[in-house]
Each structure stands twice: as C-alpha cells, then as structure tokens.
Chain A
C-alpha cells in the first residue's frame, strides 16, 4: 500500500525532527554531567528561564516589575523598547553566563567532593529557585516568542514530494530550522571538546579533580565555563521550543523528555544525545502510527520511557556511554 508507506515516511521524518528537539535538551544534561558528574535537574528550568529572559529583554519588559510595583507603589512595566532578536540573544547569553557564575560561586563551590546524590539534590533546589525567580522577574503569563524562526509547512518540500510521489509531505519549517541549529551546535561542541585546551581541560576535570589541579587547571573556571555552555544550550532549546509552543511553565517539563534520551544515548556522550533523541523521536511517532490505533492511542506519553527501560536492562550504559567495569 504505497500511500500508507508514504505516510509512514512522513511520520518518520517528523519523528526525526521531533527527536532533534529532544536532543537539544539532552545536550545540556550531557555537558554538565560529563564535566562535573552532576545530573542537573534544573536544565529544563534553565531552558524556560533563558526563553523568558529572551522574551523579556526583547520586548523591553522591566525585570521584577511586579515586585517593584508592589513595594514602591509604582506602576512600571516596560522600558518601551523592542530590541532586534540578535541583540536580545546576546544579552540573554550574558545573563546565562552570569547565572553560571552565581551557581558556581554560591552553590557548587561549597559542595566540592560531596556525594553525587547531594549535588543532585542541590540542582533540584536550584530548579525550584530558578523557576520562582523566573516568575518573579518576568511574570508567569504565557508569552509569545518571535525571534524570526520560520514556522509553518515547508511548501517546497510539499511540492517536490507531491510531484514525485503524488503525496505532499508536511514538514514544519521550524523543525528544519531546529535541525540545522542542532547540527551547528553539535559541530561546535564536538570541536570545542575535542580540539581546544578548554575542552581537554573539561575532560580532565571530569576524570580526576586532583590530577586536573596538578597540571594547572582551575576547577572553578572550568565549571563556570561548563554551566555557561549548558546555559547557552538551554537558551537554544528554550528558544526553539518556545517558538513552537509559547514560553510558559510547561517548557521546563521538556527536561522529562530528555531523560529517556539520556538513558538511550548515554549520559556522557554528545553524539549519544543526538542519536538517542532521534531514536526516541522516530520510535514514538512510528509506534503511535503503527501500534497506536490498535491499543487506543496516546502512546507518545509513555513509549519513550518504556524504550528507555528496555535499554536499561540490556545496555545500562546507553548506546555511547562509557562502560563501567569493576575489577574484582
């Protein structure tokens, strides 16, 4: 049945692109986990916070406006400017770097050599704190994020496929854009971690703190660097997801979608995050398409987690993760 086959192809393509979006979120987790062994529960909230900040700066919102108004009885809300997207992005990056510095200075510097579970707990605290700060700073209403990312169906692809197969594929421009963005991001990140001294230092710190210190690497600097990069990755993820479905609290829940991606790809592998995301994206769309109708649908809610569970049983380190071999 060629029609059904073509439809399946379309579903798969869309799955791939949805997977890219998952990968964007998973990347942030991998970066921090690789460099400091911290599973950063706050990564999703960071994406939300970055997107909120981007919208706020772009639309000239005054941060903490409600708080200021409540205390001083003023009634201010806007600076009255609208900045071009790229200026707002630069300012947001600066905010995320500042955030990275604060996190390092006030939280993780005091938790050096603590158990991973304690570091994890700290990131849970950080997540809720940041969520509150985000609300307080920019308000909790749903915001529209428009930084000029193209949206809607790509007509060229529709036309091409229609002429070729007699069936036009529906591919969202936003997804295509996100895919290009992810490719660039991963290329830069891999180049950074493989070929630069900061990247080598990052791997060194991830491996052994004492040894890293002894060759002249500053742990604090590397951690600020890593959290900054994770912040920028969160900004990319937040921007793309925000453009897709609006900037609102539920944006922070995309972190939950990243979990199965990480289990599949491995917590320590940048390519793993990408491949894991793609597998989850395609898997859940195809499963919904092929099996969904037989069992009443809504499989996308749980498919990724079940797949991750199966992986945990057979390959606990993920596809690309480092295998842990304990010598007895």
Chain B
C-alpha cells in the first residue's frame, strides 16, 4: 500500500500521522548465496506504529538490521526524512535518532537498571571530559537534565522499584522493559522493536502492548516492530508489512492484511512452486 497519502491525517484515537519518516527502496540483502531480502520497498510514516510480520526466516530481523545500520544491503537505498541516507555504521544511525531493541535482549548485564537507561542518553552529553570529571558547569546541568528524562521514562514504564537492581538479576519480562526504557531514553524519532513480546506470558504481553501504545501516543514516537503474535499485531499497528522468504507479500492496514489471499496462504502454508 505505497499509495498512502503523504499528507497528515488524524487517526480515530486522535494521533496525527504525517509524511514518510523512513523509506526503504528496493532493498536487497544477500549473505553469500542466500538472499535474505529481495527487492523490498516500504515506508514508515511519521507517528505511526508499523509492524513487520512474517513466518520464521522471512527476513524480518534482517530488515530491521538494515534500518538500524547493522546490515548494509547490496542494493537499494534508504531515505530518512526525505533525503538519501549514506552508508552508516550502527552507532551513527543511533545518533540520528533511531533507537532499537534486540530479539535476544542486549543489555549491559553488569550495570544497574538506572545505569542502563542512562547509557541510552550517552550521545546527548556534549560537555567536555574534564568538566564531567569535576562535575561542574555544563556537565552538571546536563547530568541533571538527563537524569530527569530518565526518571520520567522509568516512571512511565513502571520500573521504579528495580531502579538500582543489577540487570542480570531481573526476570526476562522486566529485562525487555528495561531495554525499551534504554531505547526511549535517547528520545528517538524512530523506535525499532525486534519481537518485543517474544517469550512473554499473557500478562507481560498486555503490559508491553500498553507501553508501546502509550509511547506512541504520549511521546509521538514512530514505532516499527516485529512480532509473531498476530492478534497483538492487529491490535497495535496502524499498518503492516508482511514478508515471506525475503519478499514482501503484503502491505496495508490490519484489515486489508487479514483479507489478503497471499498472506493467508503464507500463514496457512500453501505449497510454494
């Protein structure tokens, strides 16, 4: 559904969704002889929740890794805020306002929850190394400012109680939440979530869904997420990209996807010939 109007519009629940924040154009990614992504194009609009779904091995995570700079596609281009993005390292992508979480949680296990989340703001610190060491002037102001943002996010995700706990001691569901908090700490314009609900129980899933929706509506953060649970995807997202065997087989609103024959075939397992 690439013909979505580029003008701003307002959703039923009052969020405004605008022009394309990110456009993927004819992305092809190969690992040796294996084609992980084949000529995939789609866009992510400012303010929307965009889901990428598909069976195992469809190339969803590869797609997310292309967006966040972990993989460099052989062909195709990425447009960010309307201009062509040059080849970038992952840390450079991060400084552009794209934050992400990982499928297999990547947290700083040795640090406390608070330190983990504070690390998310590392690129926001501009004061000199010496002023940071003696804790004066700009460094002090920045640290206070960063602390305020971080505390707000910690409150928001309801992890106040575990602020000082070393991450390695937390259960899986909470780790996922801390990872989300760290990504949010960067105040990203685009948030990439790689299977934010994988391995969670129903209650944890409900919590996480609520947080994702709240982040989107309260901070206005654009979100692109990968998820397996179809009911979750259909409830959460404004638009859905469906992938199978490295190809895009569907793109549209949840309702359109539900009725898309190719998608139904892919999920019900029609033989490929």
Query: Measuring CB to CB, which residues of chain A are less than 8 angstroms from any residue of chain B?
Result: 188, 191-192, 195-198, 200-201, 203-204, 206-208, 210-219, 322
A207 to B99 CA separation, bound complex (whole angstroms): 18
Number of B residues, CB within 8 Å of A: 33
Tell whether A200 pairs with B135 under 8 Å between CB atoms, given A207-B109, A214-B99, A322-B110: no
B54-101 residues at the A interface, CB under 8 angstroms: 68, 70, 89-92, 94-95, 99-101
Contacts of A204 in B (CB 8 A): 108, 111, 119, 122
Residue with the greatest number of chain B CB neighbours at <10 A, chosen from A192, A195, A206: A195
Can you show 6 pairs from A to B with CB atoms below 8 A apart?
A: A195-B133, A200-B119, A203-B110, A211-B102, A213-B90, A216-B95
Closest Cβ of chain A: how far from B106's Cβ, in Å? 4
Instruction: Say whether B119 contacts A218, CB under 8 Å.
Output: no
A213 to B99 CA separation, bound complex (whole angstroms): 10
B111-143 residues at the A interface, CB under 8 angstroms: 111, 115, 118-120, 122-123, 125, 129, 132-135
CB of B149 within 8 A of chain A? no
A192 to B128 CA separation, bound complex (whole angstroms): 12
A90 to B146 CA separation, bound complex (whole angstroms): 35
Contacting residue for A201 out of B122, B135, B182, CB 8 A: B122
Instruction: Say whether A208 contacts B108, CB under 8 Å.
Output: yes
Tell whether A215 pairs with B119 under 8 Å between CB atoms, given A207-B108, A207-B109, A322-B110: yes
CB of B186 within 8 A of chain A? yes
A291 to B171 CA separation, bound complex (whole angstroms): 52
Contacting residue for B109 out of A188, A197, A208, A213, CB 8 A: A208
CB of B107 within 8 A of chain A? yes
Instruction: Say whether B94 contacts A216, CB under 8 Å.
Output: yes
Instruction: Say whether B102 contacts A215, CB under 8 Å.
Output: no
A-B pair number, CB within 8 angstroms: 84
A74 to B135 CA separation, bound complex (whole angstroms): 55
Tell whether A208 pairs with B106 under 8 Å between CB atoms, given A215-B119, A216-B122: yes
A188 to B92 CA separation, bound complex (whole angstroms): 29
A166 to B186 CA separation, bound complex (whole angstroms): 66
Closest Cβ of chain B: how far from A291's Cβ, in Å? 39
Residues 146-158 of B, flagged 1 when their CB comes within 8 A of A and 0 if not, give: 0000000000000
Given contacts A197-B122, A210-B102, A213-B70, 20 further A-B contacts (CB under 8 A): A188-B133, A191-B133, A191-B134, A196-B129, A196-B133, A197-B129, A197-B132, A203-B111, A204-B111, A204-B119, A204-B122, A207-B108, A207-B110, A208-B106, A211-B106, A212-B108, A214-B90, A215-B119, A215-B120, A322-B110
Closest Cβ of chain B: how far from A264's Cβ, in Å? 21
Contacts of A200 in B (CB 8 A): 115, 118-119, 122
Contacts of B182 in A (CB 8 A): 211, 215
Instruction: Say whether A214 contacts B123, CB under 8 Å.
Output: no
Closest Cβ of chain A: how far from B139's Cβ, in Å? 8
Shortest Cβ distance from B123 into A: residue: A216
A206 to B109 CA separation, bound complex (whole angstroms): 10
A201 to B123 CA separation, bound complex (whole angstroms): 10
Closest Cβ of chain A: how far from B11's Cβ, in Å? 29
Instruction: Say whether A215 contacts B135, CB under 8 Å.
Output: no
Contacts of B106 in A (CB 8 A): 208, 210-211, 214
